[in-house]
Amino acid sequence: MTQSHPAELDLADMTWPPPPYHPPVPPVTDEHGVRRFDGVTYASTPGYRPRLLDVQVPPGEGPFPAVVWIHGGGWLDGDRRYPPPTVPAALLHGSVLAAGLALVTIDYRHSLEAPFPAQLHDVKAAIRYVRRFAGDLGIDPDRIAVWGESAGGHLAALAGLVGPDSAEAVALEGAHGVGTGDTGVRAVVDWYGVSDLPALAGRPVPGMPPGGEFPDPYDALLGGTEAERPALARAASPVTYAQDSTPPPFLLIHGTTDGLVPFSQSEALAEALAGAGGDVTLRPVEGADHIFLGSPDIAEIVAESVAFLAKHLAAGA
């Protein structure tokens, strides 16, 4: 359901050029008491499609802690409304809401629209937006976490590690949408995300369609090969920031036979986080491929992820 704008506009409040985001309009409440803010523009940039987010808030008074969900798709594809096909949206969304957490699902610019760090800029812009309008959304601005899968897991890890004290912080934080504000998060769940791009340089990407019509996802993200852009590849790698940060708690879940993003990528990030004194849990899913294909326990994986987030977003945690 897409939000509609009021039929009558107060021309006295209009400005030109319009602001690079839209404030939330009143939510729609469903039959379960869940309040929905659908299709909210959290950032807009001339020449690009508007970046949208949806918010679902559980019944009750609130304010509620919030989880920002970041979709996968190799940075080339994907949609805020749809988890991977192995994870039903009703299971993912329902589990978050049942735990008393608000759910924010976001779109971001794909890599052929704009190379890295545009994707991280958009994630940061979404977090700023949620904090800026937390009162309207019924969200506690001090209790926000991120959760992503595949490309989204990579971006969730970066969102948890890149802050104002990071190297190249100004370039990585961006100034889209609300423009300024805190982008820190309380916890990170990273499902099978890339953590070290240089380690994957030159590695064939399994499942690529023949004929070269589908771009290499890593080259598309960087706007060139790792050899051509080694500094950008390091800047796009969560392991670059792990050892010199004060990381929030991390839960890494990864299939041990992932043919697209090797399990070793999560092992490397877990080692770097532990080396920084971070609270990190690496949960292997034995025999599972990418998107947990082959695992009979998807519901258990979702439940473990939600329990981790609820624990670290609890008041006083």
Burial class (CB in 10 A: 0-12, 13-18, 19+), 255: buried
Which residue of the set 154, 258, 266, 312 is catalytic? 258
290 flagged as catalytic: yes
The torsion angles phi and psi of 54, rounded to 5 degrees, stand at: -115, 145
- Give the span between the Cα atoms of 219 and 284, in whole angstroms: 28
Please give the helix or strand (H or E) that residue 145 lies within, else none: strand 139-149
* DSSP state, residue 292: G
71 flagged as catalytic: no
Of 255, 261, 263, 252, whose CA–CA distance to 288 is shortest? 255
* DSSP state, residue 114: S
- Token representation of residue 147: 């959760």
166 flagged as catalytic: no
CA 271 to chain centre: 22
Which residue of the set 150, 166, 237, 245 is catalytic? 150
The answer to whether 268 touches 239, Cβ cutoff 8 Å, is yes
Which residue of the set 22, 110, 121, 290 is catalytic? 290
Of 250, 88, 204, 220, whose CA–CA distance to 151 is shortest? 220
- Give the span between the Cα atoms of 208 and 215, in whole angstroms: 8
- Positive or negative CA dihedral for 203, 206, 212, 214? negative
* DSSP state, residue 21: S
- Positive or negative CA dihedral for 197, 237, 193, 149? negative
Catalytic residues: 150, 258, 290
